[in-house]
Amino acid sequence: MLRKGFLELAGSDGVRRILTGTPVTRAMSQRFVPGERVEDVVAAIRTAADSGLAATANYLGEAVRSPDDARAAAGVYLDLLQAVEDEGLQTHASLKFTQMGQDISDAFLEENLTPVLERARATGTFLRFDMESSAYTTRTLDAFESLWNRGWREIGVVLQAYLKRTAGDVRRMIDLGARVRLCKGAYAESPDVAYTEMPRIRRNFVELMEWLMADGVYPAIATHDESLISAAREFADRRGIGRDRFEFQLLYGVRRDLQVQLIEEGYTVRVYVPFGDQWYPYLMRRLAERPENLAFMVESLVKESPLGFLWPRR
Ligand SMILES: Cc1cc2nc3c(=O)[nH]c(=O)nc-3n(C[C@H](O)[C@H](O)[C@H](O)COP(=O)(O)OP(=O)(O)OC[C@H]3O[C@@H](n4cnc5c(N)ncnc54)[C@H](O)[C@@H]3O)c2cc1C
Per-residue pLDDT band for 155 (boundaries 50, 70, 90) equals: very high
Does any domain span residue 201? Answer: yes
Distance 289 CA to ligand 1 centre (A): 7
Q: Do the Cβ atoms of 108 and 67 come closer than 8 Å? A: yes
* Rounded Cα–Cα distance for residues 33 and 277 (Å): 9
pLDDT of residue 290: 73
- 174 part of a folded domain: yes
| Mean pLDDT across 214-242 | 98
| Residue whose CA is at the smallest distance from ligand 1 atom 2 | 222
Does residue 231's CB lie within 6 angstroms of at least one atom of ligand 1? Answer: no
What's residue 66's pLDDT? 96
What is d(CA 212, CA 292) in angstroms, rounded to the nearest whole number?
32
Confidence tier at 22 by pLDDT (50, 70, 90): low
Distance CA 1, CA 4 (A): 5
Cα(248) to centroid(ligand 1), Å: 12
Using the mean position of ligand 1's atoms as its centre, give its distance from the Cα of residue 151 in Å: 32
Q: Which residues pair with 155 in a beta bridge?
A: 127
Mean pLDDT calculated for residue range 173-185 = 98
Using DSSP's 3-state secondary structure scheme, residue 156 falls into: strand
CATH number of residue 159's parent domain: 3.20.20.220
Which ranges constitute the DSSP H helices of 150-197? 166-176
Residue 20 pLDDT level (bands cut at 50, 70, 90):
low
CA–CA separation, 58 and 33 (whole Å): 10
Q: CB–CB of 10/189 below 8 Å?
A: no
With pLDDT > 70 as the criterion, what percentage of the chain qualifies? 85
In 3D space, the residue among 86, 83, 140, 85 whose CA is nearest the CA of residue 113 turns out to be 140
Pocket flag, ligand 1, residue 185 (CB < 6 Å): yes
Task: Please indicate, yes or no, if residue 47 is contained in any of the structural domains.
Answer: yes
Instruction: Please determine, for residue 309, whether its predicted confidence score (pLDDT) is greater than 70.
Output: no
Of the candidate ranges 5-14, 16-25, 125-134, 185-194, the one whose mean pLDDT is the lowest: 16-25
Residues 131/157, Cβ–Cβ less than 8 Å: yes
224 Cα–ligand 1 center, Å = 6
Query: Which of 58, 98, 132, 290 should be mutated for ligand 1, with most atoms under 8 A from CB?
Result: 290
pLDDT at residue 259, as a whole number: 95
Lowest-pLDDT choice from 16-25, 52-61, 138-147, 186-195: 16-25
| pLDDT value of residue 167 | 98
Binding site membership of 92 for ligand 1 (Cβ less than 6 Å):
no
Residue 65 placed within a domain: yes
- Whether 307 maps to a domain, the answer reads no
| Residue 110 pLDDT | 96
Lowest mean pLDDT among 22-31, 102-111, 202-211, 232-241: 22-31
Which class for 183: exposed (0-12), middle (13-18), buried (19 or more C-beta within 10 A)?
buried
Q: pLDDT grade, residue 125 (50/70/90)?
A: very high
Catalytic: 181? yes
The finding on whether 83 has its CB within 6 A of some atom of ligand 1 is no
Index of the ligand 1 atom closest to the CA of residue 158: 8
- Percentage of residues of the chain with pLDDT beyond 90: 75
* Length of the chain in terms of residues written: 314
250 CA closest ligand 1 atom index: 53
Strand partners, 275: 59
* Helix (H) / strand (E) containing 131: none
Pocket test of ligand 1: the residue of 183, 269, 283 to mutate, having most ligand atoms within 8 Å of its CB, is 183
10 falls within a domain: no
Categorize the per-residue pLDDT at 117 as very low, low, confident or very high, splitting at 50, 70 and 90.
very high
In 3-state terms, what secondary structure has residue 110?
helix
Query: What is the predicted pLDDT for the residue at 165?
Result: 98
Q: How confident is the model at residue 314 (pLDDT cuts 50, 70, 90)?
A: very low
The answer to whether residue 74 is domain-embedded is: yes
- Of 103, 128, 130, 169, the catalytic one is 130
Q: Is residue 87 part of a domain?
A: yes
Domain count, the chain: 1
Query: Does residue 128 line the site of ligand 1, with CB under 6 A?
Result: no
Q: Find out whether the beta carbon of 247 lies less than 6 Å from any atom of ligand 1.
A: no
Query: Distance of CA 41 to CAs 60, 81, 177, 222, 288, Å?
Result: 11, 11, 30, 20, 24
Amino acid in the structure at residue 298: V
Query: What average pLDDT does this structure show over 76-83?
Result: 98
Q: What is the pTM of this model?
A: 0.89
Please write the tens of the pLDDT for every residue from 235-282. 999 999 999 999 999 999 888 899 999 999 999 999 999 999 888 888
User: What is the average per-residue pLDDT within 80-89?
Assistant: 97
pLDDT at 21: 58
Distance CA 209, CA 269 (A): 16
Smallest CA-to-CA distance from 181 within 242, 209, 225, 222 is with: 222
Of 117, 98, 114, which is closest to residue 59 (Cα–Cα)?
Answer: 98
Strand partners, 250: 271
Q: Which structural domain, as residue segments, surrounds residue 265?
A: 33-278
